[in-house]
Structure 1
Amino acid sequence: MRERVALSLFFGLAGVLNALWVATLPAVDERLELGPGRIGTLLLLLAVGALVTMPLAGRSADRWGSRRLLRVATPLCAFVLAGVALAPSYGVLAVAVLPLGAATGAVNIALNVHGVEVERALGKPVMGSLHGVWSLGGVIGGALIAAALAAGVDVRMLMVSVAVTVIVVSLVPGPFLLTAPVPVTKEAGGPVVLSVGMIAFMGSVVFAAYLSEATATDWAAVHARWELAAEPATASVIYTAFAAAMTVTRFLGDPLRARLGPARTMRLAGSVATAGYALVLVSPLAGSGAVACAIAGWSLVGAGMATVVPVIFSTVGAMATRPGRALSAVTTISFGGALTGPAVIGYVAEVASLSAALLVPAVFTVFVALTGPAAVRVVAGSIVSDRASARRSS
């Protein structure tokens, strides 16, 4: 289906843009002499821009269509990122990252709402593979950017060149996106009006998943250095194993969800991630096998967390009368996990140890395993109730 291919390309481009920001941040730090405090402030401003925009993006997707929002937000995000690249000072950069966060938030909402609409049209799960393409775009983009920086390419020229390329390429698949979303009637299993409580419940599960995922992203390599005395190259391999496991599992997650159903998939995902954190926590006791134990543990964390977000987003978007608003609300709640998780780990590690701090995300993976199935069943139960009420009233 050409609509799925077109959307996949947008997901891949979004992954490239994310990599362009993350992979070039050290070079920007060196150029402008930012330091940890200023980088932390930039990341906070980026998050604020996204959090403010996401609810507005959800309303825009419902009112004007996710197709139109995606075609506008993606090149706009690349354009703003090119402006960020040219910032001559920290002050200008701090101002520039706010619209970057806003554009990134809009792209995030547009991608997931349109992904739900494509799922409806196809009649089968595809959200996991779409998120897999995003991860793959980030991996490929990050590798190419790292190679260019290693070859001595100026970071400003690199960022502007990649951003302009994304703008041009994004014009190609736009006309092939789904033009008329397939409506879902209550007889077909939805949509329903999701209450604030339902949205908060679903959001809390994704909050836990994002916190656990962000912890792995930011602390896996550091854990290997601090707790396992691994060499820097070995530590980077541990993060790569986590990212690779997450990417591969996202491509495999759709057939798994189709076979097991969303509730059982959520339970399996949380359980696998919990087992992964258990291995990470015991890895310092594994002697000569400590690094191998950590690699296995972080790989299981990546494999487990890979399917949580796609399943929740699909469930919310497919069953909500206003998928844009519902998804933006869940995303806004859950984004706090990615924002606060790494910082909390740092604070706990400061007063205790990093191994002790990793108990926090481990607890949250247990939360996913226990409450994730209930979260998707709550929405399914509301559909059954609505359909029963409709039959009684008729």
Structure 2
Amino acid sequence: MTPSGWTFGVLIVFTMFGFGFGNWLARIPAVRDHLGASTLQMSIIGLVLATGSVIGLVIAGRTVTWLGPRRTIYYGALGQALFMPLGATLLWFGFAAPGMLALAVFGFFFSTSDVAMNVSGAAAERALGKPRMPLLHGGYSLGGVSAMGVGALAETFKVPVPIHLGIVFAVIVVGILFAIQRIPRVEPAAPAGEPLVVTTNTGPIQLLATPAVEAVKQRPASYNPWRDPRIIVIGLLAMSMGLTEGTATDWLPLALADHRGFSNPAAALALGVFFVAMLSTRAAGSWLLGRFGRVWILRASAVVAGSSIVLLNVVPFPWASYVFAALWGIGSALGFPIGVSAAADDPEKAVRGVATVSAITYAAFLVGPMAIGFLGEHFGLLRAFLPIAVFLIFVIFAAGAAREPGRKAGSGATG
């Protein structure tokens, strides 16, 4: 097994977890209709799930350090496969309180697994010596988009939500069992100066004796990432870009329907354009980062995303909205993957660094939609998007915190 095989295994994990959560999102309207729930009641269900996720993120650094990324992914997949179908079933049959509790536990397992797969992906990226986090996050997005198609088929054939999700998560467990055969268990520290050997179920991987690998051999010292200014700035960078992505996902179709006169299918198509643009950019992200570096890409992404949001407010033509949706997707695609890679630059501190950056970013996903909705209620959704530009201006000025180790300030494209 090679580092590329390790990367492939983590890619499957990203795709499977995106596919699982996406299927839940695709069936939320069916759950609402079956229960006759109000928008507020469905928001409470979502908030409970998000609360479980935040709890998982807060302690994910210690959890992944204790179990290791591979075992955390495995147990996380089993927990998701148990508690998502259980929660959906309880809700489906009217047991609201225990159903929401099960969804909160699902959220805990989901967010913990999310940190573990990002830590393993960042380690595989270091072992490979090439940027791969954009590709891995592209796998997550692909899983989510694929889930929308599966959810639409389930709606068409009127498959009950508990049966649908039970089948989906059974498939996910099979996929994860296949994937973790390629994810290594890091062995005890090797003697100084010798290559580090990590073991997978299909054989050992010997990593080159680089400074990053040498750091892996050492046990993590006492370290609090919440007191590390660089990690906090990287977390705020990732949060700003995550807020930009999440705003489009949550509100773009409704904004176009309300303020540009789009029909529901036409507004949904604009969101599809956003997702395709984001997926395409993540697919090209490894090459872009290798050529231009994180700092240049972050700044360019912020300019592209911010310009698209401003122009969406200014230019009223329907065709232009599709163009700006595509630019918004391009600008949003690489921020969070870059943040994860930057948080994992020091292998000795990678687990807790990634957990902290993830916690800060997901806080934006939790609070951001509510804040945009509040502003939209008073000023209209399109205008409610404009404050995001402030966060993107911060990205332009603070992007240097994410610079790759050894890369000189001011270095741009490489030949």
Q: Does 1:376 align with 2:408?
A: no
Task: Report the number of matched residues.
Answer: 376
Q: TM-score, normalised by structure 2?
A: 0.85
Q: Does 1:331 align with 2:334?
A: no
1:44 aligned to which of 44, 47, 53: 47
Q: Does 1:168 align with 2:174?
A: yes
Task: Check the 8 A contact 1:6/1:176 in 2, yes or no.
Answer: yes
Aligned residue in 1 for 2:77 = 74
2:375 & 2:51 partners in 1: Cα distance?
A: 24
Larger deviation, residues 112-121 vs 194-203: 194-203
Larger deviation, residues 186-195 vs 310-319: 186-195
Aligned residue in 2 for 1:299 = 326
Letter of the 1:84 partner, please give it. Answer: G
**CA deviation after TM superposition for structure 1 residue 188, in Å:** 8.0
Identity %: 27
> 1:119-268 residue pairs with structure 2 within 5 A?
119-180=125-186, 186=211, 195-268=227-300
Closer, same or farther in 2 for the Cα pair 1:353/1:247, shift >3 Å?
A: same
Aligned residue in 2 for 1:8 = 11
Aligned residue in 2 for 1:108 = 114
Q: Does 1:346 align with 2:373?
A: yes
Aligned residue in 1 for 2:193 = none
**CA deviation after TM superposition for structure 1 residue 22, in Å:** 0.4
**CA deviation after TM superposition for structure 1 residue 64, in Å:** 3.0
Task: Check the 8 A contact 1:70/1:110 in 2, yes or no.
Answer: yes
Aligned residue in 1 for 2:99 = 93
Q: CA RMSD in A?
A: 2.2
Aligned residue in 1 for 2:393 = 366
Task: Check the 8 A contact 1:278/1:297 in 2, yes or no.
Answer: no
**CA deviation after TM superposition for structure 1 residue 315, in Å:** 1.1
1:190 & 1:345 partners in 2: Cα distance?
A: 42
Aligned residue in 2 for 1:312 = 339
More helix by share: 1
2:286 & 2:329 partners in 1: Cα distance?
A: 16
**CA deviation after TM superposition for structure 1 residue 190, in Å:** 7.0
Query: What per-residue deviation string (whole Å, max 9, x for no partner) do you get for residues 112-159 of structure 1?
Result: 000011011111111100110111111112211211211222222111
Closer, same or farther in 2 for the Cα pair 1:111/1:209, shift >3 Å?
A: same
Gaps of 5+ in 2: 187-197, 199-206, 409-415
2:347 & 2:369 partners in 1: Cα distance?
A: 31
1:21 & 1:278 partners in 2: Cα distance?
A: 32
Task: Check the 8 A contact 2:375/2:384 in 1, yes or no.
Answer: yes
Query: What per-residue deviation string (whole Å, max 9, x for no partner) do you get for residues 357-389 of structure 1?
Result: 111223222322232x22214x849x99xxxxx
SS class of match (1:295): helix
1:219 & 1:266 partners in 2: Cα distance?
A: 23
1:56 aligned to which of 52, 56, 59: 59
Letter of the 1:342 partner, please give it. Answer: P
Closer, same or farther in 2 for the Cα pair 1:186/1:118, shift >3 Å?
A: closer
Task: Check the 8 A contact 2:257/2:264 in 1, yes or no.
Answer: yes
2:373 & 2:208 partners in 1: Cα distance?
A: 46
2:174 & 2:212 partners in 1: Cα distance?
A: 42
SS class of match (1:72): helix
Gaps of 5+ in 1: 285-289, 385-394
Letter of the 1:53 partner, please give it. Answer: G
SS class of match (2:230): helix
Runs of 4+ residues over 4 Å off in structure 1: 181-195
Closer, same or farther in 2 for the Cα pair 1:230/1:189, shift >3 Å?
A: farther
**CA deviation after TM superposition for structure 1 residue 187, in Å:** 7.8
Q: TM-score, normalised by structure 1?
A: 0.90
2:32 & 2:367 partners in 1: Cα distance?
A: 22
Closer, same or farther in 2 for the Cα pair 1:187/1:58, shift >3 Å?
A: closer
1:208 & 1:189 partners in 2: Cα distance?
A: 33
**CA deviation after TM superposition for structure 1 residue 233, in Å:** 0.9
2:272 & 2:212 partners in 1: Cα distance?
A: 45
SS class of match (1:321): helix
2:344 & 2:270 partners in 1: Cα distance?
A: 34
Query: What per-residue deviation string (whole Å, max 9, x for no partner) do you get for residues 148-178 of structure 1?
Result: 2112222221111111221223212222213
